Amino acid sequence: MEMLLAGAWVDRPERIEVLDPFDNSLIDTVPSATLADVEAALAAAVEGAKLARALPAFERARILAAVGRVVEERSDYFAHMIAREGSKTIREARKEVSRCVNTLRSCAEEARRIHGETIPFDNFPGGEQRRGYFERVPVGVVLAITPFNDPLNLVAHKLGPAIAAGNAVILKPATVTPLSALELTRAFVDAGLPQLTLQTLTGRGSAIGDPLVSDERVRMISFTGGVEAGRHITSRAGIKKIGMELGSNSPVIVWQDADITWAVESCVSGAFWAAGQNCIGVQRIYIHEEVFAKFRDDFVARAASYTIGDKLDEATDMGPMITEQEADRVVQWVRAATQAGAEVLTGGGHSGALVQPTVLEGVPRSAQVHCQEVFGPTVNLYSIRDEDEAIAEANSLPFGLHAALFTQNVDMAFRLANRLQCGGVMINDSTDYRLDTMPFGGIKYSGLGREGVRFSIEEMTETKVVCWLLRES
Ligand code: NAD
């Protein structure tokens, strides 16, 4: 495929191979953008921002609704694209496509309701003769950088709100999964988005990241990815808006009064969705000592029953990790944990990029699988005695995206929702729940700002005040 630069689909002699991680077969190649391409994209985006700002809301809404329809009509094509270039099974990929359609529809709706308020300037003496309002205006050029694990919907979460808000966007999709993003870009072009308002540069973040991120023509960086890249980008960005959707290490608390059958089902799905490559994936489960044995036995049996393998097979529950190298890393982390005293209850091995669903018990607090983001199909079970211990454990790490609690006790649920340090608390479901229109994001190293259509639009606009002084005639 070609990339979209300054209003034209272009190719470059150096190309990046896009491989199916299941069998390393070549799906396609994409251009590797050069530093000259970065400069051309930035110059074009400044012109694109003028065009985007001039588009009326109804036109932005029309385009976004049209893109949503294209994705819906081609959902089977998009689902296969996601399943082939990424880690998701075809069933998981279909869910991503339907979420993407909803994301785009919501962007179309929100494009019509970006508004400000009148300001009561007579709040304090001296303002009696003033009248005015504030409005939300586009930031200008948004740089969107996306990860591999949701190669379509996380791209829609950036392009949709940026365009709804009247901005120009430069998108740099994940190097390993650029194809879904390029197809979505094509849908925007086909829907009549003015040339220059959207450009998609394919290439490696390490090669073209810094000149994009540090350029002053970019007024907002909307980044989703790992903490390491997020920290690097933040240090290079200079004075501009920054939205960071980073990693986590999500805790779940299962109380003794919980519906254990449901808690197991929900947590197994939350731990192994997308082969655990999920920013809100379940990584640490703290189970009340009275129900620990039952939860553990049921959880292990369910994990061990998972069918892993070919992503395009309808019967497959879990596909491969994104690369064999990543699978190696996860298995090494598990091995290091067992050498330090952890016990593997099921899994622990890998074949190529396929890692077995892995469940650990007795994990030392110093192990990587405990204190870092694994971003793979492993989960740790811990027995806990009381509420204070559960909270201390759940809040003990420098991440805070989602946390979850299973209980029938309403008072306890409110208390823990208040005490858990994170961007979202799921009660009676695993951490792996996100509605695309809710405010989504983390605290501590999990991020800065919030996404979720309306909230992204807020981040991608500036507040501007207009104030009249009424003079006596
Ligand atoms: P990554 O950080 O390796 O890469 C993300 C993107 O950043 C890619 O497009 C990459 O090319 C680019 N990049 C890397 N270095 C860069 C640089 N110096 N300058 C500019 N761009 C650069 O992440 P990944 O492996 O693709 O995704 C996994 C990570 O993403 C996990 O940590 C996961 O938790 C996180 N994630 C977070 C959310 C969220 O909403 N909070 C959602 C999905 C994934």
List the chain pLDDT tens, one digit each, 473 residues: 999 999 999 999 999 999 999 999 999 999 999 999 999 999 999 999 999 999 999 999 999 999 999 999 999 999 999 999 999 999 999 999 999 999 999 999 999 999 999 999 999 999 999 999 999 999 999 999 999 999 999 999 999 999 999 999 999 999 999 999 999 999 999 999 999 999 999 999 999 999 999 999 999 999 999 999 999 999 999 999 999 999 999 999 999 999 999 999 999 999 999 999 999 999 999 999 999 999 999 999 999 999 999 999 999 999 999 999 999 999 999 999 999 999 999 999 999 999 999 999 999 999 999 999 999 999 999 999 999 999 999 999 999 999 999 999 999 999 999 999 999 999 999 999 999 999 999 999 999 999 999 999 999 999 999 999 999 76
Closest ligand 1 atom to Cα of 204: 11
The Å distance, Cα 55 to ligand 1 centre, comes to 31
Cα angle for residues 178, 181, 187 (degrees, 5° grid): 145
pTM over 0.95: yes
Residue 86, phi then psi, degrees to nearest 5: -110, -155
Q: Which residues in 41-75 are b (16+ Cβ under 10 Å) and which e?
A: bbebbebbbeebeebebeebbbbbbbbbbbbbeeb
Query: Which of these, 389, 335, 409, 390, lies nearest to 367 by C-alpha position?
Result: 335
Q: What residue owns the CA closest to ligand 1's atom 26?
A: 147
Q: Which three-class secondary structure state does DSSP give residue 136?
A: strand
Burial status of residue 265 (CB atoms within 10 A of its CB: 0-12, 13-18, 19 or more): middle
Closest ligand 1 atom to Cα of 322: 25
**Pairing mode, strands 141-145 and 168-172:** parallel
The Å distance, Cα 227 to ligand 1 centre, comes to 8
Please tell me if the CB atom of residue 439 comes closer than 6 angstroms to any atom of ligand 1. no
The span from the CA of 357 to the CA of 299, in Å, is 11
Cβ–Cβ < 8 Å for 345, 361 = yes
Cβ–Cβ < 8 Å for 374, 283 = yes
Q: Which residues in 220-230 are b (16+ Cβ under 10 Å) and which e?
A: bbbbbbebebb
Catalytic-role residue among 279, 326, 458, 459: 279
